[in-house]
Amino acid sequence: QVQLEESGGGLVRPGGSLRLSCAASGSTSGTYNWAWFRQTPGKEREFVAAIKRSGTGTYYASAVRGRFTASRDRGKHTASLQMNSLRPDDTGVYYCAAGVGNPITSSMGYESTYDYWGQGTQVTVSS
């Protein structure tokens, strides 16, 4: 079994930056496609960003494109989400996810593509 643990959340002022990290542990024998989702109170969890195991394909929700950057360290089984120019509507619980399959590009934003999930880390953007 694989466990994911996020870190790096916190409170930041509008316009600020945060970097989220996600580390896989346990039976980490393979390589993963990675994704980030977020959930705010009263809303369903939504896709934020994803990166393919090769590192050559990255995908973003329109609301974060140009402000967020997803990356991964293939050898260390970790992924990161650099978040810049944060806004109050970026507030939420951020979850990382990892998948072992070979999804088509259009599937990278779907929760069902991913096999493992972290517990989430709170990001609050407020002045």
Summarize pLDDT for 81-108 with one digit per residue, the tens. Answer: 999 999 999 999 999 999 998 888 888 9
Residue 71: how many CB atoms within 10 A of its CB? 16
Long-range contacts of the stretch 99-103 (C-beta < 8 A, 24+): 99/32, 99/33, 99/34, 99/35, 100/30, 100/32, 100/33, 101/33, 103/33
Summarize pLDDT for 10-31 with one digit per residue, the tens. Answer: 999 999 999 999 999 887 777 8
DSSP string, 33-86: EEEEEEE-TTS--EEEEEE-TTSS-EEE-TTTTTTEEEEEEGGGTEEEEEE-S-
Summarize pLDDT for 31-70 with one digit per residue, the tens. Answer: 899 999 999 988 999 999 999 988 889 999 999 999 999 9
